[in-house]
Amino acid sequence: MNKHWKSRIEVSTIYLIVLIMFVIIFYPLLWTFGMSLNPGASLFGASMIPEDWSFTHYEWLFFDPNSDYLTWYKNSLMVATANSFFSVLAAALVAYAFSRYKFVGRKNGLYILLIFQMFPVLMGMVALFTLLNFVDMLDSLVGLTLIYIGGSIPIQVWLVKGYFDTISKDMDDAARIDGAGHFRVFFTIMLPLAKPILAVVALFEFMAPFMDFLLPRIVLRSADNFTLALGLFNMVSGQFDNYFTRFAAGAILIAIPIALVYLFLQRYLISGLAQGGTKG
């Protein structure tokens, strides 16, 4: 077999894999969008391409007095924005210390952060539940946000530190010769140069509250504090709650803020992911 045919086979294989992945990803999305346009509420009577399609369920989510969808959306946006901002700030500060300074316990501290990555936050839910109850932050969006921020630090610190390690320390030294302090070096040199990896962290942490169900299920109690995942689950979890088409409509709309943030940060994402893992 000559090189020409071998090259064509490799290219064809790549396109085939991409096509398969495209079908796997977009087929459920098309079904969900089609379900949201079905006028009925039943899952079994719905079709991917409804004959009598309508936006009835979208109208119900936004305008019906019995709908709490806008409240859940607002709660999710608040938690996601706060989690994204403070997770980026905390991870950047901790990663800067581990990347630039030598101190007692630095090596062991990195190992501890690495070990913490192996255990999901849910393993400590009993302790977190007890702690939030003790400080009267149970059923609170603030308490939920604090758990998200704390749980993200071990993972994101390693990612950000790897990027900080690729930035030359000569710039730090030059700035300190000019009289810059630690925080000035951090905010005026390190953060602007680390925009790609910070964009990656910001996107991941913004997505988390929209996708997570288990943590809000344990922490939140009142419907006014529900996030979207928890609120939409209640539409189909009750004995007489069978609103799968409304659930589909609400699930489709979750993608809008995530897509907007992704488009806003897109130019930074590829370089941030590529360079963040170059050094440990």
Would you give the DSSP letter of residue 117?
T
Residue finishing a domain among 37, 57, 77: 57
* Domains identified in the chain, total number: 2
Clarify whether residues 42 and 83 are in a common domain.
no
Clarify whether residues 125 and 206 are in a common domain.
yes
Q: Which domain holds residue 24?
A: 3-57
* Residue 182 domain-assigned (yes or no): yes
**CATH code where residue 83 lies:** 1.10.3720.10
Please give the full DSSP string across 198-220, using - where no structure is assigned: HHHHHHHHHHHHHH--HHHHHH-
Contact indicator for 217, 230 with CB cutoff of 8 Å: yes
d(CA 167, CA 207): 28
Clarify whether residues 77 and 7 are in a common domain.
no
Clarify whether residues 53 and 78 are in a common domain.
no
* Residue 117 domain-assigned (yes or no): yes
Would you give the DSSP letter of residue 43?
S
d(CA 251, CA 247): 6
Clarify whether residues 205 and 174 are in a common domain.
yes
Clarify whether residues 29 and 159 are in a common domain.
no
Clarify whether residues 162 and 28 are in a common domain.
no
Name the pTM for this structure: 0.85
* Residue 62 domain-assigned (yes or no): no
Between 81 and 105, the more confident residue is 81
pLDDT digits (tens, 9 = 90+) for 22-49: 888 888 888 888 888 887 766 666 667 7
Clarify whether residues 125 and 202 are in a common domain.
yes
Range 66-75 average pLDDT: 92
Clarify whether residues 38 and 77 are in a common domain.
no
* Residue 160 domain-assigned (yes or no): yes
Clarify whether residues 187 and 244 are in a common domain.
yes
* Residue 218 domain-assigned (yes or no): yes
Select, from the ranges 54-58, 73-77, 174-178, the one with the highest average predicted confidence (pLDDT). Answer: 73-77
What local confidence, expressed as pLDDT, does residue 71 receive? 94
* Residue 63 domain-assigned (yes or no): no
Clarify whether residues 34 and 130 are in a common domain.
no
Clarify whether residues 210 and 74 are in a common domain.
yes
Query: Tokens 């009598």 map to which residue?
Result: 52
